[in-house]
Structure 1
Amino acid sequence: MERPIDFSRDRRMLCGICAHQWLVDLEWIDRWEQSREVCPGCGTTCEHENAPRVTVDPDDLALDDDKIAQLAWYHTSTLPDWPTRDFDPAADLTPETRRMMGGSKRVAAWAARQRGKALHVGTYESAIHNMLRRMRDQADHGSQFYLYRVLLMPSVVVREGWLIDPGNFVGDVVLDEVCPPGVDVARYLNYHEDPGGLSLALGRGAVAGVQQVAVPLRDACNNDWVREAVADLDGASDALVPATGRLGRFMRPSSPRAFLGRELGAALAGKLPVNLQDQFASAAAFDEGDNPMRWARRTSCLFDLIVVPLRALAELDRQERRTV
């Protein structure tokens, strides 16, 4: 069962001080994070410890335990075989690394902790948001990503209610801490990707199968924007020009072509919901030496994952389901 995809939908806020709830758009949240809005109930600003935050929509289909296994869930990863059936986090460790970690016993303990981490799945919106965030924050700008549609086992047992996002500072969740014995899946309020949406923490045994496509969809993007961008970039010089001004000696030389590419990417980012603009502009950044046609098609296809999501869903529909 697919849910409507809407990156721009309104979000529900809940004040931790006065318990006031209200709907806001993404522009309001952006102003709020800049201390330009207050709670309409008590006037609290975002600096307060118990300041309002996004909360779950009471009409979210994922609140219904009986629908959890019927819904399609999504994940993005650079792994072409996620989730790996026989996951061995120590498989690629060199003998030197194993020695630095303290020997075989400590490596085994570390590997057990890695295997004990929960998998994460969420809405389509959260999966795309996660990919863009990783491109910006985790040196994955040039990595190949895969979009997974995740189908759960019909018999999964769902933890009652939902949790506040249980991830640590890098997003890791210990499965046993959120899914006690007899529980397969725990819902949690996602603060970071698709804020306000419900995501799931679960183990590999809860996954019945996945469908997978490489993203962005490379062969789907040959439109007017691509043709115009390529023409403009081909007409711009790629000769490096030293930066000027007082700080010029601290800045890398840049070419007119790269400067134009960054402007084109930023202009496209400006057409997206405000909470995706920074991540998209970073993911679409034009680097010195980039091929104009390759860059333009990739950037346009990234854009389409957000504005034309049905294209990605249709491509997933054509893929065979892989049993996990």
Structure 2
Amino acid sequence: MDRPIDFSRPRWMLCGRCTRQWMVDLDWIDRWEQSRESCPDCGVTCETETGPRVTVAPDDPALRNAAERLPWFHTSTHPDWPAEHFAPEESLSAATKEMFEQNGSSVASWAERQRAKALHIGTYEAAVHNMLRRISDQGDRGKQFYLYRVRLTADITLRDSWIADPGGLVGDVPLTDVCPPGVLATRYRNDHEDPGGLSLALGRSAIASTQRISIPEAADRECDHLWVQTAVAELENAVPTRRAKAHDLVVPLAQQLPVNLRRQFSAAVAFDEDQDTEEWATYTNALVNMVTAPELILAALDQQPIRCL
């Protein structure tokens, strides 16, 4: 069972003051976040706690019992996510471990808290948005990312109703805080990526299988090859700098994307003067395709082996 992928789909708003619900587009939300829009009934803006907020669409397929049959997605820099034996302490430098000791903290206790955190999966749109945000805002530029398609166990027990986003921008929340005893996964309204879409907080035991591709997945279409070739030629002959030319090439690409992805995309593909021009152009084109041609990405996932957990 699949669900349509649409980064630009309308979103539902809910006013906390007058309870009005209505649909808007992403441009409206962009203006609303700048206090340039308000509730059409009571006039309250986003500046107050009771102001309008993006909410879950009443016809979201993940609200129904079909949630366990839907494909879910996740982006990660880990090639073995979710790891069977997660050892976060192995990523710490000797200096960091020493700092723990100097502060009277225990590396082992810290590692146990990391292992106790919930995993997060969501819509395809949320997974791509998360990756772009991490590259642009969280220091993950230059890292290899992977896209995972996730299937849940057939006998999974879901929390009865969805909850508000529990984890903030980085999603750090203990599993026991969101999944009561007997519950393996909890649906929550994602406020930061694919706003209003439902994501899942869950433990590893709720995942039946994954499929994985490396990002970017280069497309083999004539239009993609043509854009890459043209971009490389323009960069090689750029005046005054290749960075300025790369910026000019990125602007029309960013305009093809939804307004809530443009800044992160532009930051993610910012050009460094020492970069290989063909690698940059291929990477940039492939990131655009993840948003504008998701069918290519899903087809690539279809060709990957299924890893059963």
Shorter chain as denominator, the TM-score bin is over 0.9
Q: What does 1:89-104 correspond to in 2, within 5 Å? A: 89-102=88-101
Question: Among 258, 280, 303, which residue is 2:265 paired with?
Answer: 280
Cα deviation 1:23-57 (Å, max 9, x = unaligned): 00011111111221111010011211221010000
Q: What does 1:159-198 correspond to in 2, within 5 Å? A: 159-198=159-198
Pick closer, same or farther for the CA change 1:307–1:113 going to 2, 3 Å.
same
Q: Which runs of 5+ in 2 are unaligned?
A: none
The structure with more radius of gyration? 1
Residues 265, 286 of structure 1: 8 Å contact kept: no
Pick closer, same or farther for the CA change 1:105–1:191 going to 2, 3 Å.
closer
Q: Secondary structure at the match of 2:227?
A: helix
* Offset, 1:193: 0.4
* Offset, 1:94: 4.7
* Offset, 1:235: 1.0
Q: Which runs of 5+ in 1 are unaligned?
A: 238-254
Residue of structure 2 equivalent to 1:87 = 86
Residue of structure 1 equivalent to 2:152 = 152
Residues 219, 296 of structure 2: 8 Å contact kept: no
Pick closer, same or farther for the CA change 1:25–1:219 going to 2, 3 Å.
closer
Q: What does 1:40-189 correspond to in 2, within 5 Å? A: 40-64=40-64, 66-102=65-101, 106-189=106-189
1:263 is the counterpart of 2:265? no
Question: Among 207, 214, 230, which residue is 1:228 paired with?
Answer: 230
Letter in 1 for 2:265: F
Pick closer, same or farther for the CA change 1:93–1:142 going to 2, 3 Å.
closer
Q: Distance in 1 between matches of 2:143 and 2:105?
A: 33
Q: What does 1:245-260 correspond to in 2, within 5 Å? A: 256-260=241-245
Segments of 4+ in structure 1 off by > 6 A?
none
Cα deviation 1:75-121 (Å, max 9, x = unaligned): 00011110001111123445553332128982221111100000000
* Offset, 1:267: 2.1
Cα deviation 1:240-276 (Å, max 9, x = unaligned): xxxxxxxxxxxxxxx5211110121122101111111
Count how many residue pairs are aligned between Structure 1 and Structure 2: 306
* Offset, 1:225: 1.9
What is the RMSD computed on CA atoms of the aligned residues?
1.6
Pick closer, same or farther for the CA change 1:143–1:105 going to 2, 3 Å.
closer
Residues 80, 146 of structure 1: 8 Å contact kept: yes
Moved more, 104-113 or 118-127: 104-113
* Offset, 1:70: 0.5
Q: Distance in 1 between matches of 2:149 and 2:111?
A: 27
Residue of structure 2 equivalent to 1:10 = 10
Letter in 2 for 1:266: V
Q: Distance in 1 between matches of 2:29 and 2:227?
A: 30
Residues 169, 192 of structure 2: 8 Å contact kept: no
Q: Distance in 1 between matches of 2:105 and 2:141?
A: 35
Cα deviation 1:143-197 (Å, max 9, x = unaligned): 1110000011111100010000000453211100110110000000000000010
* Offset, 1:287: 1.3
Letter in 2 for 1:296: A
Residues 211, 319 of structure 1: 8 Å contact kept: yes
Q: Distance in 2 between matches of 1:151 and 1:83?
A: 13
Q: Percent identity?
A: 54
Residues 164, 188 of structure 1: 8 Å contact kept: yes
Letter in 2 for 1:314: A
TM norm structure 2 = 0.95
